[in-house]
Amino acid sequence: MRIIKYFISILTSLLLLSSVSYAEKWDMALAYGAGNFHSANATEFAKNVTEKSGGKLTIVTHPGGSLFKGGEIFRAVRTGQAPIGERFMSALGKEDPLLEIDSLPFLATSYTDAMKLYKASKAEIAKSLDAKGLVFLYAVPWPAQGLYSKKEINSVADLKGLKFRAYNGATIRIAELTGMAPTKIEAAEISQAFSTGAVESMITSPTTGKNSKIWENGVKYFYDIAAWFPKNMIIANKKAWNKLDKETQDLIMKEAALAERKGWQLSKMGNKNDKKALADAGMSVGKVNSALKQHFEKVGSQMASEWTKKAGARGQSVLSAY
């Protein structure tokens, strides 16, 4: 009897160890502050996966670049330093030109068109990331990108020499084609860059301007040019992914689809509410004049042509589908 109890005890211990070995913890690297809608949406996604996985997977979010800074996250996930993370897609144009497609100026200037462009490019982007050892989970756009400036801009001449915050290849190229002087600045460094005079203008979403309280750094003007709808994507390390059973993988994909749908709705809300927040803070919120609009559209056409040559047949295929 004593021997039987001994073997039952061993069997119970082995079962417990087995269940523990299947329990995984993922630290999720997020570049933006906890109050940002991207971070809040990712936190809800992580919470839902954790609660519904039955203890198999716990996802802990680390917003505000506290685990890895924005520019480090893609590499960290790819190398397995972080099993999951978020990255601004168009900042990765050197990894794959297709990741820049959502930042081609004036290619998609509405949420409807932004979704069509996303659907046309998603499969090819996911395939490319898979080859890099990554699993694509979901992507959510920022509100439409507008032009911020410390000084009023009424003509093309007003753009010349303007110190401009760039964050990807597209914004650097816009600066070059319009005569502005680009400096690469991550989102977390915007306030400091404006307050020190390192930059005096930028193209980004009303959400980024509101979250950084950009008006406190002498920025008085926001021009609603709706240049593009860039996206953040959530990616996972494929080796970490392969450690999960199929049930947990399916759960993640289901929750990712829900997070994506909610994220797009949050972005639409921010596109309206955050422009109002800028105006309520005393900023001038309006449109550029027709001459400037035509100038930006001409720049956009040139950039689209340059991008198509760089992206090759894959890029042509995606644009044709769009």
| Full DSSP string of 60-86 | EEETTTTSS-HHHHHHHHHHTSSSEEE
The pairing of strands 163-166 and 201-204 is parallel
Tell me what pLDDT residue 5 has.
56
Residue 186 lies in a domain: yes
E-strand stretches of 69-220 = 84-88, 134-141, 146-149, 163-166, 181-184, 201-204
Residue 207: which domain range? Answer: 146-228+275-321
What total of structural domains would you count in the chain? 2
Residue 78 lies in a domain: yes
Q: Taking a C-beta distance cutoff of 8 angstroms, is the pair 69, 188 a contact?
A: yes
Is the entire prediction scored with pTM above 0.95?
no
Residues 164 and 310 in one domain: yes
Residues 71 and 207 in one domain: no
Residues 200 and 165 in one domain: yes
Tell me what pLDDT residue 168 has.
83
d(C-alpha 96, C-alpha 124), whole Å: 10
Residues 125 and 269 in one domain: yes
Residue 101 lies in a domain: no
Residues 27 and 114 in one domain: yes
Residue 309 lies in a domain: yes
Residue 129 lies in a domain: yes
pLDDT per residue rounded down to tens, the chain (322 residues)? 566 555 555 555 544 444 444 689 999 999 999 999 999 999 999 999 999 999 999 999 999 999 999 999 999 999 999 999 999 999 999 999 999 999 999 999 999 999 999 999 999 999 999 999 999 999 999 999 999 999 999 999 999 999 999 988 889 999 999 999 999 998 889 999 999 999 999 999 999 999 999 999 999 999 999 999 999 999 999 999 999 999 999 999 999 999 999 999 999 999 999 999 999 999 999 999 999 999 999 999 999 999 999 999 999 999 999 9
Q: What sections of 164-245 are H helices per DSSP?
A: 169-178, 190-195, 206-211, 238-242
Residue 103 lies in a domain: no
Residues 58 and 207 in one domain: no
Structure tokens at 10: 């061993």
Residues 156 and 279 in one domain: yes
Residues 6+ positions from 15 with CB-CB distance below 8 Å: none
Residues 246 and 299 in one domain: no
Residues 220 and 205 in one domain: yes
Tell me what pLDDT residue 21 has.
45
Residues 218 and 285 in one domain: yes
Residues 130 and 185 in one domain: no
Residue 102 lies in a domain: no
Residues 209 and 66 in one domain: no
Residue 121 lies in a domain: yes
Task: CATH number of the domain at 13, please.
Answer: 3.40.190.170
